[in-house]
Homo-oligomer: A and B are copies of this chain.
Amino acid sequence: MNAIKKPGGILLTILSSVFILFGVMSCQQGADPVTEAPVTPHPLFEVLPADAEDPEDNIRTPERVDLGHKLFFEPKLSRSGIISCNTCHVVGAAGVDHRERAIGEGARVGPRNSPTVYNAAFLKAQFWDGRSPTLEDQAMGPIQAHVEMDLTPQEAVDRLRQTGYMPYFEAAFPDEENPLTFENVAKAIAAFERTLLTPGSKFDQYLEGNHEVMTEIELAGMQLFQESGCASCHHGPLLGGNMFMEFSHIGGEDVGRASVTGSESDNFVFRVAPLRNVAQTFPYFHDGSAATLEDAVAVMGESQLGRTFNDEEVEKLVAFMHTLTGEFPMIPHPSLPRVQTP
Protein backbone atom coordinates (compact mmCIF):
# COMPACT_ATOMS: atom_id res chain seq x y z
CA MET A 1 0.00 0.00 0.00
CA ASN A 2 2.53 2.56 1.18
CA ALA A 3 5.56 0.47 0.11
CA ILE A 4 6.41 3.11 -2.44
CA LYS A 5 7.40 5.50 0.34
CA LYS A 6 10.11 3.24 1.75
CA PRO A 7 13.45 2.88 -0.04
CA GLY A 8 13.18 -0.92 0.20
CA GLY A 9 9.71 -0.59 -1.09
CA ILE A 10 10.90 1.38 -4.08
CA LEU A 11 13.47 -1.26 -4.93
CA LEU A 12 10.76 -3.87 -4.64
CA THR A 13 8.54 -1.83 -6.87
CA ILE A 14 11.30 -1.48 -9.48
CA LEU A 15 12.08 -5.17 -9.27
CA SER A 16 8.41 -6.03 -9.55
CA SER A 17 8.12 -3.79 -12.56
CA VAL A 18 11.06 -5.49 -14.20
CA PHE A 19 9.50 -8.87 -13.54
CA ILE A 20 6.17 -7.64 -14.76
CA LEU A 21 7.89 -6.25 -17.86
CA PHE A 22 9.59 -9.58 -18.46
CA GLY A 23 6.30 -11.27 -17.82
CA VAL A 24 4.55 -9.07 -20.36
CA MET A 25 7.33 -9.60 -22.89
CA SER A 26 7.36 -13.34 -22.58
CA CYS A 27 3.61 -13.32 -22.60
CA GLN A 28 3.52 -11.20 -25.76
CA GLN A 29 5.92 -13.54 -27.43
CA GLY A 30 4.39 -16.56 -25.70
CA ALA A 31 7.97 -17.75 -25.25
CA ASP A 32 8.83 -20.86 -23.38
CA PRO A 33 11.59 -19.56 -21.05
CA VAL A 34 13.60 -22.72 -21.73
CA THR A 35 13.85 -22.58 -25.54
CA GLU A 36 15.38 -19.59 -27.26
CA ALA A 37 14.36 -18.41 -30.69
CA PRO A 38 16.79 -20.03 -33.16
CA VAL A 39 16.65 -16.78 -35.14
CA THR A 40 15.84 -13.61 -33.22
CA PRO A 41 13.08 -11.81 -35.10
CA HIS A 42 13.74 -8.28 -36.36
CA PRO A 43 12.70 -5.84 -33.64
CA LEU A 44 10.20 -4.15 -35.96
CA PHE A 45 8.37 -7.36 -36.87
CA GLU A 46 4.88 -7.56 -35.38
CA VAL A 47 2.29 -10.25 -34.96
CA LEU A 48 -0.67 -9.50 -37.21
CA PRO A 49 -3.18 -7.76 -34.91
CA ALA A 50 -6.22 -9.85 -34.08
CA ASP A 51 -8.53 -6.99 -34.96
CA ALA A 52 -8.33 -3.71 -36.83
CA GLU A 53 -8.98 -0.41 -35.10
CA ASP A 54 -11.94 1.60 -36.28
CA PRO A 55 -11.57 5.31 -36.95
CA GLU A 56 -13.69 7.42 -34.60
CA ASP A 57 -16.13 8.36 -37.33
CA ASN A 58 -16.70 4.80 -38.57
CA ILE A 59 -17.24 2.46 -35.65
CA ARG A 60 -18.23 -0.99 -36.82
CA THR A 61 -21.66 -2.45 -36.09
CA PRO A 62 -22.87 -5.79 -37.46
CA GLU A 63 -25.30 -3.86 -39.68
CA ARG A 64 -22.56 -1.68 -41.12
CA VAL A 65 -20.27 -4.63 -41.81
CA ASP A 66 -23.16 -6.53 -43.39
CA LEU A 67 -23.94 -3.59 -45.66
CA GLY A 68 -20.28 -3.31 -46.62
CA HIS A 69 -20.22 -7.01 -47.39
CA LYS A 70 -23.16 -6.57 -49.78
CA LEU A 71 -21.60 -3.49 -51.40
CA PHE A 72 -18.24 -5.24 -51.84
CA PHE A 73 -20.01 -7.86 -53.99
CA GLU A 74 -22.40 -5.41 -55.67
CA PRO A 75 -21.91 -5.36 -59.46
CA LYS A 76 -24.42 -2.54 -59.80
CA LEU A 77 -21.64 -0.26 -58.52
CA SER A 78 -20.10 -0.52 -62.01
CA ARG A 79 -21.46 1.02 -65.21
CA SER A 80 -21.95 -2.35 -66.94
CA GLY A 81 -23.35 -3.89 -63.80
CA ILE A 82 -21.01 -6.87 -63.88
CA ILE A 83 -17.92 -5.57 -62.02
CA SER A 84 -17.82 -5.44 -58.24
CA CYS A 85 -14.99 -4.78 -55.77
CA ASN A 86 -14.68 -8.57 -55.61
CA THR A 87 -13.90 -8.73 -59.36
CA CYS A 88 -10.38 -7.41 -58.76
CA HIS A 89 -10.04 -8.13 -55.04
CA VAL A 90 -11.34 -11.71 -55.11
CA VAL A 91 -11.95 -12.81 -51.53
CA GLY A 92 -11.55 -16.45 -52.61
CA ALA A 93 -8.21 -15.79 -54.31
CA ALA A 94 -6.05 -14.04 -51.69
CA GLY A 95 -7.90 -10.78 -52.31
CA VAL A 96 -6.40 -10.17 -55.75
CA ASP A 97 -7.15 -10.87 -59.43
CA HIS A 98 -3.80 -12.47 -60.34
CA ARG A 99 -3.49 -10.22 -63.39
CA GLU A 100 -0.55 -7.99 -64.20
CA ARG A 101 -2.79 -4.97 -64.20
CA ALA A 102 -6.42 -4.59 -63.24
CA ILE A 103 -9.20 -4.85 -65.82
CA GLY A 104 -12.32 -2.74 -65.55
CA GLU A 105 -15.26 -1.28 -67.45
CA GLY A 106 -15.11 -1.72 -71.21
CA ALA A 107 -12.28 -4.24 -70.70
CA ARG A 108 -10.03 -1.23 -70.08
CA VAL A 109 -6.75 -2.20 -68.48
CA GLY A 110 -5.74 -0.01 -65.58
CA PRO A 111 -2.25 1.32 -64.95
CA ARG A 112 -1.41 -0.88 -61.97
CA ASN A 113 -1.63 -4.28 -60.32
CA SER A 114 -4.57 -4.86 -57.92
CA PRO A 115 -3.30 -4.97 -54.34
CA THR A 116 -4.87 -7.47 -51.97
CA VAL A 117 -7.76 -6.36 -49.82
CA TYR A 118 -6.75 -8.73 -47.01
CA ASN A 119 -5.17 -6.93 -44.06
CA ALA A 120 -5.40 -3.64 -45.98
CA ALA A 121 -6.78 -2.25 -42.72
CA PHE A 122 -3.21 -2.13 -41.41
CA LEU A 123 -1.66 -0.25 -44.33
CA LYS A 124 -0.43 3.21 -43.44
CA ALA A 125 -1.62 4.47 -46.81
CA GLN A 126 -3.80 2.99 -49.55
CA PHE A 127 -2.92 2.50 -53.25
CA TRP A 128 0.56 1.89 -54.69
CA ASP A 129 1.24 5.62 -54.54
CA GLY A 130 -0.32 5.99 -51.09
CA ARG A 131 -2.70 8.69 -52.26
CA SER A 132 -5.45 7.66 -49.84
CA PRO A 133 -4.88 7.82 -46.11
CA THR A 134 -7.76 5.52 -45.18
CA LEU A 135 -9.84 2.61 -46.40
CA GLU A 136 -12.82 4.97 -46.48
CA ASP A 137 -11.06 7.33 -48.84
CA GLN A 138 -9.73 4.45 -50.94
CA ALA A 139 -13.15 2.88 -51.47
CA MET A 140 -14.40 5.96 -53.31
CA GLY A 141 -11.68 5.71 -55.96
CA PRO A 142 -12.36 2.58 -57.99
CA ILE A 143 -16.12 3.17 -58.16
CA GLN A 144 -15.44 6.44 -59.97
CA ALA A 145 -12.34 5.52 -61.98
CA HIS A 146 -12.94 5.38 -65.74
CA VAL A 147 -10.78 2.24 -66.05
CA GLU A 148 -12.47 0.50 -63.11
CA MET A 149 -16.17 0.87 -62.27
CA ASP A 150 -16.82 4.21 -63.96
CA LEU A 151 -19.77 5.66 -62.03
CA THR A 152 -20.31 9.12 -60.60
CA PRO A 153 -21.11 9.23 -56.87
CA GLN A 154 -24.65 10.34 -57.75
CA GLU A 155 -25.13 7.43 -60.14
CA ALA A 156 -23.88 4.99 -57.50
CA VAL A 157 -26.24 6.35 -54.87
CA ASP A 158 -29.20 6.41 -57.28
CA ARG A 159 -28.61 2.82 -58.31
CA LEU A 160 -28.42 1.63 -54.73
CA ARG A 161 -31.62 3.45 -53.85
CA GLN A 162 -33.45 1.94 -56.84
CA THR A 163 -32.11 -1.51 -56.01
CA GLY A 164 -33.58 -1.56 -52.52
CA TYR A 165 -30.58 -0.66 -50.38
CA MET A 166 -32.28 2.06 -48.32
CA PRO A 167 -33.29 -0.17 -45.35
CA TYR A 168 -29.72 -1.47 -45.12
CA PHE A 169 -28.27 2.05 -45.04
CA GLU A 170 -30.84 3.05 -42.41
CA ALA A 171 -29.79 0.10 -40.26
CA ALA A 172 -26.09 0.78 -40.76
CA PHE A 173 -26.32 4.54 -40.16
CA PRO A 174 -29.27 4.76 -37.77
CA ASP A 175 -28.63 8.30 -36.54
CA GLU A 176 -28.47 9.93 -39.94
CA GLU A 177 -31.34 11.66 -41.63
CA ASN A 178 -30.03 10.85 -45.09
CA PRO A 179 -28.04 7.64 -44.68
CA LEU A 180 -27.69 6.67 -48.35
CA THR A 181 -24.73 8.82 -49.35
CA PHE A 182 -21.57 8.08 -51.30
CA GLU A 183 -19.53 8.72 -48.16
CA ASN A 184 -21.52 6.06 -46.36
CA VAL A 185 -21.02 3.62 -49.24
CA ALA A 186 -17.30 4.02 -48.64
CA LYS A 187 -17.65 3.79 -44.85
CA ALA A 188 -19.60 0.55 -45.04
CA ILE A 189 -17.13 -1.01 -47.48
CA ALA A 190 -14.25 0.03 -45.22
CA ALA A 191 -16.03 -1.45 -42.18
CA PHE A 192 -16.34 -4.77 -44.03
CA GLU A 193 -12.73 -4.63 -45.17
CA ARG A 194 -11.57 -4.26 -41.55
CA THR A 195 -12.86 -7.80 -41.01
CA LEU A 196 -10.71 -9.24 -43.83
CA LEU A 197 -7.73 -10.38 -41.80
CA THR A 198 -5.58 -13.49 -42.12
CA PRO A 199 -4.14 -14.43 -38.72
CA GLY A 200 -2.33 -17.61 -37.77
CA SER A 201 0.57 -17.72 -40.25
CA LYS A 202 3.62 -19.77 -39.33
CA PHE A 203 5.48 -16.48 -39.04
CA ASP A 204 2.99 -15.18 -36.46
CA GLN A 205 3.15 -18.44 -34.54
CA TYR A 206 6.93 -18.11 -34.47
CA LEU A 207 6.72 -14.53 -33.20
CA GLU A 208 4.34 -15.76 -30.53
CA GLY A 209 6.96 -18.20 -29.31
CA ASN A 210 6.24 -21.43 -31.14
CA HIS A 211 9.78 -21.87 -32.42
CA GLU A 212 9.14 -25.39 -33.70
CA VAL A 213 6.81 -24.20 -36.41
CA MET A 214 9.40 -22.96 -38.90
CA THR A 215 11.63 -25.31 -40.85
CA GLU A 216 15.37 -24.91 -41.23
CA ILE A 217 15.17 -23.35 -44.68
CA GLU A 218 12.40 -21.01 -43.60
CA LEU A 219 14.50 -19.85 -40.65
CA ALA A 220 17.52 -19.42 -42.89
CA GLY A 221 15.31 -17.34 -45.17
CA MET A 222 14.17 -15.18 -42.28
CA GLN A 223 17.74 -14.65 -41.18
CA LEU A 224 18.81 -13.67 -44.69
CA PHE A 225 15.73 -11.43 -45.02
CA GLN A 226 16.87 -9.57 -41.92
CA GLU A 227 20.62 -9.53 -42.52
CA SER A 228 20.52 -8.52 -46.16
CA GLY A 229 18.35 -5.50 -45.45
CA CYS A 230 14.91 -6.56 -46.74
CA ALA A 231 13.49 -6.03 -43.27
CA SER A 232 14.63 -2.41 -43.22
CA CYS A 233 11.63 -1.59 -45.36
CA HIS A 234 9.53 -4.73 -45.00
CA HIS A 235 8.59 -4.64 -41.33
CA GLY A 236 5.65 -3.79 -39.11
CA PRO A 237 2.53 -5.93 -38.92
CA LEU A 238 2.38 -6.36 -42.72
CA LEU A 239 6.13 -6.52 -43.47
CA GLY A 240 5.63 -3.48 -45.65
CA GLY A 241 2.92 -0.97 -46.37
CA ASN A 242 4.10 1.56 -43.82
CA MET A 243 6.68 3.60 -45.75
CA PHE A 244 7.59 4.83 -49.23
CA MET A 245 10.75 3.97 -51.16
CA GLU A 246 12.18 4.68 -54.56
CA PHE A 247 11.76 1.76 -56.95
CA SER A 248 12.93 2.97 -60.33
CA HIS A 249 13.87 -0.42 -61.78
CA ILE A 250 10.69 -0.61 -63.82
CA GLY A 251 10.75 3.00 -64.98
CA GLY A 252 8.22 3.85 -67.66
CA GLU A 253 5.47 6.41 -67.38
CA ASP A 254 4.29 5.50 -63.93
CA VAL A 255 6.20 7.88 -61.67
CA GLY A 256 4.38 6.69 -58.56
CA ARG A 257 4.20 9.05 -55.63
CA ALA A 258 5.41 12.04 -57.65
CA SER A 259 2.00 12.05 -59.32
CA VAL A 260 0.48 12.62 -55.88
CA THR A 261 2.92 15.10 -54.35
CA GLY A 262 4.08 16.80 -57.53
CA SER A 263 7.56 16.67 -56.10
CA GLU A 264 10.36 15.54 -58.38
CA SER A 265 12.04 13.85 -55.44
CA ASP A 266 9.10 11.45 -55.35
CA ASN A 267 9.74 10.24 -58.89
CA PHE A 268 9.37 6.45 -58.97
CA VAL A 269 8.66 6.36 -55.27
CA PHE A 270 6.06 3.75 -54.30
CA ARG A 271 4.61 2.35 -51.12
CA VAL A 272 6.71 -0.58 -49.93
CA ALA A 273 4.68 -3.66 -50.83
CA PRO A 274 3.18 -5.48 -47.83
CA LEU A 275 4.29 -9.11 -47.78
CA ARG A 276 1.46 -10.82 -45.90
CA ASN A 277 0.22 -13.78 -48.04
CA VAL A 278 2.74 -12.71 -50.68
CA ALA A 279 3.15 -16.31 -51.89
CA GLN A 280 -0.45 -16.12 -53.11
CA THR A 281 -0.67 -12.56 -54.45
CA PHE A 282 1.34 -12.98 -57.67
CA PRO A 283 2.16 -11.38 -60.01
CA TYR A 284 4.26 -8.73 -58.27
CA PHE A 285 5.19 -5.04 -58.37
CA HIS A 286 2.99 -2.09 -59.25
CA ASP A 287 2.85 -3.21 -62.89
CA GLY A 288 2.63 -6.93 -62.19
CA SER A 289 5.81 -7.48 -64.17
CA ALA A 290 7.28 -10.14 -61.87
CA ALA A 291 5.41 -13.38 -62.48
CA THR A 292 6.85 -15.34 -59.58
CA LEU A 293 8.14 -14.75 -56.11
CA GLU A 294 11.57 -15.89 -57.31
CA ASP A 295 11.57 -13.18 -59.99
CA ALA A 296 10.43 -10.56 -57.52
CA VAL A 297 13.06 -11.46 -54.93
CA ALA A 298 15.82 -11.36 -57.54
CA VAL A 299 14.75 -7.93 -58.82
CA MET A 300 14.43 -6.57 -55.27
CA GLY A 301 17.94 -7.75 -54.45
CA GLU A 302 19.44 -6.08 -57.51
CA SER A 303 17.45 -2.88 -57.47
CA GLN A 304 16.97 -2.13 -53.79
CA LEU A 305 19.94 -3.79 -52.14
CA GLY A 306 22.48 -3.80 -54.97
CA ARG A 307 23.01 -7.47 -54.38
CA THR A 308 22.62 -10.52 -56.57
CA PHE A 309 20.99 -13.28 -54.58
CA ASN A 310 22.18 -16.68 -55.77
CA ASP A 311 19.68 -19.49 -56.38
CA GLU A 312 20.10 -20.92 -52.91
CA GLU A 313 19.49 -17.54 -51.31
CA VAL A 314 16.43 -16.93 -53.44
CA GLU A 315 15.11 -20.33 -52.39
CA LYS A 316 15.58 -19.48 -48.73
CA LEU A 317 13.91 -16.09 -49.03
CA VAL A 318 10.99 -17.58 -50.91
CA ALA A 319 10.65 -20.32 -48.29
CA PHE A 320 10.47 -17.64 -45.60
CA MET A 321 7.87 -15.70 -47.55
CA HIS A 322 5.65 -18.77 -47.65
CA THR A 323 5.49 -18.62 -43.84
CA LEU A 324 3.67 -15.28 -44.19
CA THR A 325 0.53 -16.98 -45.51
CA GLY A 326 -2.23 -16.79 -42.92
CA GLU A 327 -5.67 -18.31 -42.56
CA PHE A 328 -8.23 -16.81 -44.89
CA PRO A 329 -11.72 -16.38 -43.49
CA MET A 330 -14.72 -18.02 -45.15
CA ILE A 331 -16.69 -15.21 -46.78
CA PRO A 332 -20.26 -16.05 -47.75
CA HIS A 333 -21.65 -14.66 -50.96
CA PRO A 334 -23.94 -11.99 -49.51
CA SER A 335 -27.62 -11.75 -50.23
CA LEU A 336 -27.99 -8.73 -52.53
CA PRO A 337 -31.03 -6.46 -52.19
CA ARG A 338 -33.19 -6.42 -55.30
CA VAL A 339 -36.55 -4.76 -55.82
CA GLN A 340 -38.77 -4.60 -58.86
CA THR A 341 -38.72 -1.25 -60.62
CA PRO A 342 -41.92 -0.85 -62.65
Return the CB mask of A312-342 against B: 1 if under 8 Å, else 0: 0000000000000000101111111010111
Q: Quick one: copies of this chain in the complex? A: 2
Are the C-beta atoms of A107 and B80 separated by less than 8 Å? Answer: yes
Nearest B residue (CB) for A82: B87
Total residues of chain A contacting the partner, CB 8 A:
39
For A127, the chain B residues whose CB sits under 8 A away are none
7 closest Cβ pairs, A-B complex = A92-B333, A93-B336, A292-B340, A282-B340, A92-B336, A292-B342, A331-B333
User: Would you give 12 A-B contacts (Cβ < 8 Å), ordered by A?
Assistant: A75-B87, A75-B90, A80-B103, A82-B83, A82-B103, A91-B333, A92-B333, A93-B338, A94-B338, A98-B338, A291-B340, A291-B341
For A82, the chain B residues whose CB sits under 8 A away are 82-83, 87, 103
- The secondary structure that dominates the A interface is loop
In the complex, how many angstroms separate the beta carbon of A305 from the nearest chain B beta carbon?
Answer: 22
Q: Is A158 engaged at the interface, CB distance under 8 Å to the other chain?
A: no
In the complex, how many angstroms separate the beta carbon of A258 from the nearest chain B beta carbon?
Answer: 31
Q: Is A280 engaged at the interface, CB distance under 8 Å to the other chain?
A: yes
- Contacts A81-B103, A98-B338, A338-B98 given; does A333 touch B291 at CB 8 Å: no
